[in-house]
């Protein structure tokens, strides 16, 4: 089979590999669509965090946001059969497990794979894993009726948070990003206001959009009035900006993004405002199933988030385009 093999930062080569053998608790998936995730992009740029810039000996097949058809099942598998449509998480057995290949070996766990209804295309199925991440983050942010939620970063996760809030909550959403193109996508998805951080101070803009400044005594800072901020940007300044956008008492800052550089956060503000800072990591099986239900039921439309689709042979170009956030949003590889 053909596979896109990662060898080091910005070094992806399409090569011939053997079709992976499957264990008793695995299924072999014929991959029909696989999204490039934020983690894939970090690896592509840097070689990930604990081994920045180091090549991977022998190469590695990335890609975990996959959708496809079951080609074969292991001896102990009972819930899937050849021909079933699935979406889920490729656990990526070393060298052969990722979804940027014609076939992927996927182990059955509580985190999938999941049956994909006929109403959901394979392309949409490849966006369900990041949607589950967005669902998990929104649940932690606990948006309430009439509240204001600020989403920092209008990438796939941030726009997924917007979609989840719009589908399940009656509250106001403000989206902040550096890309006018991405902000233009956020508006028809339901953002009441958008802020271009390249054109204005995002903190000041959100403060004005939420009713003006509320000075904090003894701290000489301007405080906003947002009830919750979900940081999907992962910029050095974004957590501290989100903190300053929040109101005093009972506000929530949820951190979803991974940070390529250590972020800043003024913990005096955390103490003085009595706000909650919550990390959001991944998703649960229930989050993924909710995502399937939302898309299958027409309450969330993932198609506007898919900006590019490439063949497996074009995988190096797909990564290069996604490396320019002003040019791409969700990029799919279709083996």
Tell me what pLDDT residue 239 has: 96
The mean per-residue pLDDT over the stretch 298-323 comes to 96
Q: Which pTM does this prediction carry? A: 0.93
Compute the mean pLDDT over every residue in the chain, rounded to the nearest whole number: 92
pLDDT by residue (tens digit) across 181-231?
999 999 999 999 999 999 999 999 999 999 988 877 777 677 899 999 999
- The arithmetic mean of pLDDT across residues 60-85, rounded, is 96
Strand partners, 27: 73, 106
Residues 34 and 111 in one domain: yes
Residue 95 has a pLDDT of 45
Tell me which H or E stretch contains 311: strand 306-311
Residue 48: the pLDDT is 54
Q: Would residue 292 count as lying in a domain?
A: no
Q: Could you tell me the two tokens for 45?
A: 């740029």
Task: Give the whole-angstrom CA distance, residue 177 versus residue 232.
Answer: 10
Residue 234 has pLDDT above 60, yes or no: yes
Which range (42-46, 89-93, 235-239, 286-290) has the least confidence? Answer: 89-93
The first and second tokens of residue 27, run together, are 């299924």
Query: Are 153 and 235 within one domain?
Result: yes
Do 110 and 41 fall into the same domain?
yes
| Closest-CA residue to 123 (of 297, 305, 287, 322) | 305
Q: 256 lies in a domain?
A: yes
Residue 177: phi, psi to the nearest 5? -160, 165
Domain range for 218 is 130-279
Residues 27 and 11 in one domain: yes
> How far is 326 from 177, CA to CA, in rounded Å?
10
Q: CA of 25: how far to CAs of 18, 44, 83, 111, in Å? A: 20, 30, 17, 13
Question: What is the CATH number for 246?
Answer: 3.40.50.720
pLDDT at 60 over 90: no
Domain CATH number, residue 32: 3.90.180.10
- For residues 78 and 144, membership in a common domain is answered with no
Q: What is the DSSP letter of 109?
A: B
Residue 121 binned pLDDT confidence (cut-offs 50, 70, 90): very high
**Residue 309 CB neighbour total at 10 angstroms:** 15
* Residues 322, 252 within the same domain: no
Q: Is the pLDDT of residue 94 over 50?
A: no
pLDDT, tens digit, 9 for 90 and up, residues 26-42: 999 999 999 999 888 88
- One domain for residues 191 and 243: yes
Q: Is the pLDDT of residue 162 over 70?
A: yes
C-alpha–C-alpha distance, residues 226 and 171, integer Å:
11
Look at residue 25 in the predicted model and tell me its pLDDT: 94
If we measure between CA atoms, which residue out of 237, 245, 235, 238 comes closest to residue 269?
245
Residue 287 maps to a domain: no
219 in Cβ contact with 268 (< 8 Å): yes
CA–CA distance, 265 with 48 (Å, rounded to integer): 23
Summarised one tens digit per residue, pLDDT across range 75-92 is: 999 999 999 999 998 764
Residue 182, in any domain of the structure: yes
User: Going by DSSP bridges, is the β-strand pair 214-216/60-61 parallel, antiparallel, or unpaired?
Assistant: unpaired
Residue 158 in 3-state DSSP? helix
Summarize the confidence of residues 97-118 as an average pLDDT: 93
46 in any annotated domain:
yes
pLDDT of residue 18: 95
pLDDT, tens digit (0-9, with 9 covering 90-100), for 241-290: 999 999 988 999 999 998 878 898 889 889 989 999 999 999 999 999 99
Count of domains observed in the chain = 2
Kindly state whether residue 288 falls inside one of the protein's structural domains.
no
Q: What confidence score (pLDDT) does residue 133 get?
A: 97
Q: Which residues touch 111 (CB under 8 Å, ≥6 apart)?
A: 88, 89, 283, 284, 285, 288
Among residues 279, 294, 313, the one where a domain terminates is 279
**Whether the predicted pLDDT of 4 surpasses 70:** yes
pLDDT computed for residue 185 by the predictor: 96
Least confident of 184-193, 294-303, 316-325: 316-325
For the cut 80, the answer to whether the pLDDT of residue 139 exceeds it is: yes
Is residue 77 in some structural domain?
yes
Mean pLDDT of 10-21: 94
Amino acid 8: pLDDT: 85
Bridge partners (DSSP) of residue 214 are 223
Check whether residue 172 and residue 31 sit in a common domain. no
Task: List beta partners, residue 15.
Answer: 3
Q: Are residues 91 and 216 in the same domain?
A: no
pLDDT at 93: 54
Residues 38 and 174 in one domain: no
pLDDT, residue 269, reads 87
- Considering the domain architecture, whether residues 31 and 116 belong to the same structural domain is answered as yes
Q: Is residue 319 assigned to a domain?
A: yes
Do 121 and 171 sit in the same domain of this protein?
no
């Amino acid at each position: 089979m053909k596979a896109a093999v990662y060898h080091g930062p910005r070094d992806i080569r399409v090569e011939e590999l053997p079709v992976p053998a499957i264990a008793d608790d695995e299924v072999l998936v014929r991959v029909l669509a696989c999204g490039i995730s934020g983690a894939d992009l970090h690896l592509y740029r840097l070689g990930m965090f604990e081994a920045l810039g180091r090549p991977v000996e022998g190469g590695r097949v990335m890609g975990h946001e996959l959708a496809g058809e079951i080609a074969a099942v292991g001896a102990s598998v009972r819930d899937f059969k050849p021909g079933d449509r699935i979406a889920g998480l490729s656990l990526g057995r070393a060298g052969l497990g990722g979804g940027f290949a014609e076939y992927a070996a996927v182990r059955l766990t509580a985190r999938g794979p999941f049956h994909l209804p006929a109403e959901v295309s394979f392309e949409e199925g490849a966006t369900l894993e990041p949607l589950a991440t967005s669902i998990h983050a929104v649940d932690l942010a606990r948006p309430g009726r009439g509240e204001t939620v600020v989403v920092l970063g209008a990438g796939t996760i941030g726009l997924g948070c917007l979609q989840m809030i719009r589908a399940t909550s009656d509250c106001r959403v403000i989206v902040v990003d550096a890309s006018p193109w991405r902000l233009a996508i956020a508006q028809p998805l339901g953002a009441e206001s958008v802020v271009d951080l390249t054109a204005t101070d995002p903190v000041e803009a959100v403060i004005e959009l939420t009713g003006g400044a509320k000075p904090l005594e003894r701290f000489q800072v301007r405080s906003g009035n947002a009830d919750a901020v979900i940081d999907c940007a992962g910029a050095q300044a974004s957590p501290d900006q989100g903190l300053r956008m929040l109101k005093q008492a009972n506000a929530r800052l949820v951190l979803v993004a991974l940070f390529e550089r250590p972020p800043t956060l003024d913990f005096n503000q955390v103490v003085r405002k009595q706000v909650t800072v919550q990390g959001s990591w991944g998703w649960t099986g229930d989050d993924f199933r909710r995502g399937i239900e939302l898309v299958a039921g027409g309450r969330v439309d993932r198609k506007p988030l898919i900006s590019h689709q490439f063949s497996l042979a074009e995988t190096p170009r797909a990564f290069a385009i996604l490396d320019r956030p002003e040019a791409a949003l969700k990029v799919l590889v279709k083996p």
